Amino acid sequence: MVFEQGGTLSSTIRVHRNGDGLLGDLRIWGTAQLPPLVDVGGPFQERFQPAGPGRIDGTFPIAFLTETGGTIRAVASTRYALETVQTLPCDHFRNILLTMSRTGPLSLRQREKIVLFDNKADASRHMAALERNLPLEERFAMAEAA
């Protein structure tokens, strides 16, 4: 992740199934000097691009909200390694609705809903609906229905 104010953050996330959901282990390192963050602005749209068997590259803009009411913007670049030999047949778009809360000085709790589309037009219509000024719980309900 490259921040417009300067600095970078890198991460490795290992995700596995846990009952009906997913559980992830996240490690972050980098050079970004960030103030205390309280949430993320969004929703966001990530573009997935085929990168070979079992591999997907992605990019998306992201914005974090600070304790003082400021906004910190960044561009996230992602690289996915999946346990498959299949190759993504075309670009896909992932709409991400996400909230974050601090649970300690060095820990965050994240809630997210992700909807995947194989064409830009459907992804854009869904994103426009998510971007309406709706209360967060209504946005999550809309994402659930997609």
pLDDT per residue as tens digits for the range 5-31: 899 988 887 877 788 777 777 788 889
**May I ask the CATH architecture of the domain 35-145?**
Beta Barrel (2.40)
Average pLDDT over residues 25-54: 85
Q: Distance (Å, rounded) from C-alpha 19 to C-alpha 128?
A: 32
**pLDDT tier at 104 (50, 70, 90 boundaries)?**
low
User: Which of 85 and 112 is assigned the larger pLDDT?
Assistant: 85
For residue 139, the cross-strand partners are none
**Domain boundaries defined on the chain:** 35-145
Predicted confidence at residue 50, as pLDDT, reads 92
Q: Which of 50-59, 61-70, 91-100, 112-121 has the highest mean pLDDT?
A: 50-59
By three-state DSSP, how is residue 130 classified? Answer: helix
**pLDDT tier at 145 (50, 70, 90 boundaries)?**
low
Q: Distance (Å, rounded) from C-alpha 31 to C-alpha 108?
A: 19
Q: Which DSSP symbol is given to 66?
A: E
Structure tokens at 99: 């909230």
Predicted confidence at residue 75, as pLDDT, reads 92
